[in-house]
Structure 1
């Protein structure tokens, strides 16, 4: 139920949310405080098995905050029910991780770690828990952000990002080793499928850590 009251140019909207589990209530209120406090004044109050949210401010801000509030409620509910084994869509994962992530890169990282993962259309299926999936998605996304200004081809960026997450090495160290083993040519181009190249690179890096240290770049 939503009520609206106009008072001296200030708009107040009220939203009741069913909340029958204390941990859900706490998680929801924390999420709302984290994401909405800068947009409008938000008050939250427990009333039986419901949370009463009151949003107060100038109308445009309140309207935006109300839309965002509904999105947060739906997101928190979905976070509690989503199961990677049953499939997580790219759109959902983007909301969960707060960044867009190539599903093929995420699936490859999981498989290298020994976790079943496959991509079917816009959905990833993985034999892991949601928190692990989100954490890895964020790591892949952060790696790709670091590579965004580097003049690398699409496939090469996937290779380097996955290697960064899996090894903790920086991009230049990874590219150096990739050139040394011949999966990247002197022009900085990937010479084969990025997943096959990644397998070769990881094997080479594993061998290197046993017999030598990579030069800091």
Structure 2
């Protein structure tokens, strides 16, 4: 069996947090979200993380790059939803571009979170972790819907409705047809947000 190439090295660097709770939050996220091929030892001193990376040199370099990229993205105060976060930041987490207006609607309807979109920014009265969790759910549904032969507005409606009501797109289509909101070409006859509000009455009653 060939030996792994490269020599074992150890590299350390520090990262300052805004407060202790932010340091703890970052520690948890590093453990949950980063897949590293090097050993990681992290010590917290007041509002600072001392990060030690040990392993084969290429793996250590790769791990440090991943950690620094993560810290610059997750730890930055610029990535506070209350101040607005860009679609680019959402893409870094979801690995796909999702419609921000759909994300804002799902945040409002499912989690009762004030959210609005202004250009390429989404503002939400919550933390980044919540926005990303919901964004990943929206992205997962979008992956199933995006190749279907529907208009962009109907796709937005389907993505939002499936994400909120945890039902199939077929049930949503059937509900829209029964309400008379789809024409013979499966095109919406009213704005998608208005149709969503009407669907809310149907699917919320089903949940009771």
TM-score by length of structure 1 reads 0.72
Q: Distance in 2 between matches of 1:85 and 1:36?
A: 25
Q: Deviations over 1:166-217 (max 9, x none)?
A: 33322111111112222223443334432233234334x26x93xxx69xxx
* Residues 29-68 of structure 1 mapped to structure 2, 5 A cutoff: 29-46=27-44, 50-68=48-66
Q: How many residues align?
A: 201
8 Å CA contact 2:113–2:126 kept in 1: the answer is no
SS in 2 for 1:84: coil
Is 1:91 aligned with 2:88? yes
Shift of 1:149: 4.8
Is 1:106 aligned with 2:89? no
- State which structure, 1 or 2, has the greater radius of gyration over its C-alpha atoms: 1
- Of 114, 119, 122, 1:121 maps to 119
8 Å CA contact 1:31–1:72 kept in 2: the answer is no
Task: Report the equivalent of 2:3.
Answer: none
Distance verdict in 2 for CA 1:76–1:172, change over 3 Å: same
Task: Report the equivalent of 1:25.
Answer: 23
Is 1:71 aligned with 2:69? yes
Q: Which has the higher contact order (CA 8 A, sep 6+)?
A: 2
Distance verdict in 2 for CA 1:150–1:32, change over 3 Å: same
Q: Distance in 2 between matches of 1:171 and 1:47?
A: 50
8 Å CA contact 1:183–1:197 kept in 2: the answer is yes
Q: Distance in 2 between matches of 1:49 and 1:181?
A: 56
Shift of 1:27: 2.5
Shift of 1:29: 2.5
Shift of 1:116: 4.3
* Residues 146-165 of structure 1 mapped to structure 2, 5 A cutoff: 146-165=144-163
Task: Report the equivalent of 1:183.
Answer: 181
| Aligned Cα root-mean-square deviation (Å) | 3.3
Q: Which runs of 5+ in 2 are unaligned?
A: 1-5
Q: Which runs of 5+ in 1 are unaligned?
A: 1-7
